[in-house]
Amino acid sequence: MEDGKKMQSNNIALYLKRKNRNNFLKSLGASGTILAMAATLLSQAIFPSIARADSPQFNIFTPYVHTQTFNRDYYLLDVKNETKGTDWNFPVSADQGDTLVFYLYYHNGIVNTMANNTTLKATLPSGVSQQHIVTGYLWADNATNASPSNPLTQTVQVNISSSQSLQYVAGSAKWFPDQGDWRFDAPTPFPSGQNENQLFSTGINIGSIEGCWEFSGAIVFKAKVSQIQYSATLTIDKKMRNLTNNETVWNDSVNAYPRQTIATQLIITNTGNTTANNIFVRDILPDRLLYNSGTTKIDNAATADGVTSGGINIGSLSPGQSKTVYFEGTLEREVRFVRGTTTLTNTGYARADQVNEIQDSANIVVTYTGCNPEMNRPPAR
Ligand SMILES: [Ca+2]
């Protein structure tokens, strides 16, 4: 298009922006049919120049910088050691326990273009090492220098003083579009409810990004330098069965009559990833359930009394290992129960070195219907 026509076309476009298109066409004095034809011609005259506009390109103002510089893009991915208070730079040095902040930056540098399905992604290495490489990715459907099949990438090296892992800090990935300052501004939620963890898998699609500095932004996320944490975790499962009724199945609730004998089982399991030492088990019997001396066993081996009178130390449990504590008790005589049913709740506890005490319960539902033929006798003597 030669300059004169281009200018004329631009003038029409400007006019159409300011005025209603129909009013403009009416001012030409044309009939309805001609109006439609004129509108078509105008569309063809105006829109091809838009269709021929340049395609978006990301982060083209090089050389890249670590600190804010006029007319220069940041590195696509940059890092700082937040714990040590360093400036943005890489490689970054860190010690165990340090928190690193990563800045994944984008800027569509072509004015009057729209980058569609702009997506940011990062990979955090797994495993334990003194050196980790973190990579940032950026692409859009129509960006000529950052396509889905050939994204922009930037690697950042993390040097650690000992072998450690890099753990993503849950909840730390935040989006700061439109020149938002991650230190002061409220983040913008990821579009369409995308989950933060997508940053490390499919990437986060931040939608259509216009070309110009004012639309540049970043996703900021944090990683902690930490060893795999070792801890013991206990579970306890307490169940009962009525021995007098010859029950064989353990339950959380058993039915019983006065003077019947009830067996209790406590299964303690270490579900953690290191050994639990000095596992201490105790059981608080409810009023009217009396411990039977000499009945306590650990994994079917008889052991000293004490589980219901302060507790017993059952030793250690390796990861995944269980131990079973067994003991028996007998319910009080009829006269100690009201007529009807009485629920006795019985709770067992377990703890270990560096493991807080946990508990589980089981119930005995005691039924006493009143004077019955079985009681037609004096007390034992
Ligand atoms: Ca239970």
Distance (angstroms) between ligand 1 centre and the Cα of 350 equals: 13
pLDDT at 227: 67
Distance (angstroms) between ligand 1 centre and the Cα of 368 equals: 24
In this structure, what DSSP letter does residue 226 have?
A: E
pLDDT at 37: 45
Can you tell me the distance from the alpha carbon of 162 to that of 159, in angstroms, rounded to the nearest whole number? 9
Can you tell me the distance from the alpha carbon of 349 to that of 357, in angstroms, rounded to the nearest whole number? 6
Q: Does residue 260 contact residue 247 with C-beta atoms inside 8 Å?
A: no
128: number of CA atoms within 13 Å, CB side?
A: 8
pLDDT at 229: 64
Can you tell me the distance from the alpha carbon of 332 to that of 233, in angstroms, rounded to the nearest whole number? 37
The DSSP-derived string for 336-377 is GS-SEEEEEEEEEEEEETTEEEEEEEEEEEEEE-S--GGG-S
Can you tell me the distance from the alpha carbon of 132 to that of 117, in angstroms, rounded to the nearest whole number? 29
Q: Does residue 296 contact residue 325 with C-beta atoms inside 8 Å?
A: yes
Distance (angstroms) between ligand 1 centre and the Cα of 264 equals: 10
Distance (angstroms) between ligand 1 centre and the Cα of 374 equals: 32
| pLDDT tens-digit profile, the chain (381 residues) | 334 333 343 333 333 333 343 444 344 444 444 444 444 444 444 444 444 458 999 999 999 999 999 999 999 999 999 999 999 999 999 999 999 999 999 999 999 999 999 999 999 998 788 999 999 999 999 999 999 999 999 999 999 998 888 999 999 999 999 999 999 999 999 999 999 999 999 999 999 999 999 999 999 999 999 866 667 899 999 999 999 999 999 999 999 999 999 999 999 999 987 899 999 999 999 999 999 999 999 999 999 999 999 999 999 999 899 999 999 999 999 889 988 999 999 999 999 998 999 999 999 999 998 876 666 677 778
pLDDT at 54: 87
Can you tell me the distance from the alpha carbon of 233 to that of 269, in angstroms, rounded to the nearest whole number? 8
Distance (angstroms) between ligand 1 centre and the Cα of 64 equals: 62
pLDDT at 53: 59
**List of E strands, the chain:** 77-81, 92-94, 99-106, 114-123, 129-139, 152-168, 174-176, 204-210, 217-226, 234-242, 253-256, 261-270, 280-284, 289-291, 297-298, 301-302, 312-313, 322-331, 340-352, 355-368
Q: Is the pTM of this model over 0.95?
A: no
Distance (angstroms) between ligand 1 centre and the Cα of 210 equals: 60
The strand pair at 297-298 and 301-302 is best described as: antiparallel
Say which residues have a Cβ less than 8 Å from residue 207's Cβ, sequence separation at least 6.
117, 118, 191
Distance (angstroms) between ligand 1 centre and the Cα of 252 equals: 5
Distance (angstroms) between ligand 1 centre and the Cα of 356 equals: 18
Give the position of tokens 């009830």. Answer: 262
Tokens found for residue 252: 């959380």
Distance (angstroms) between ligand 1 centre and the Cα of 107 equals: 59
Question: Minimal CA–CA distance to 355: which of 239, 272, 283?
Answer: 272
C-alpha distances (whole Å) from 167 to each of 105, 132, 177 are 21, 11, 25
Distance (angstroms) between ligand 1 centre and the Cα of 306 equals: 21
pLDDT at 228: 64
Distance (angstroms) between ligand 1 centre and the Cα of 236 equals: 8
Could you give the domains of the chain? 3-51 (no CATH), 77-226 (no CATH), 234-375 (2.60.40.740)
Distance (angstroms) between ligand 1 centre and the Cα of 332 equals: 22
Distance (angstroms) between ligand 1 centre and the Cα of 354 equals: 24
Burial degree of 21 (CB within 10 A; 0-12, 13-18, 19+): middle
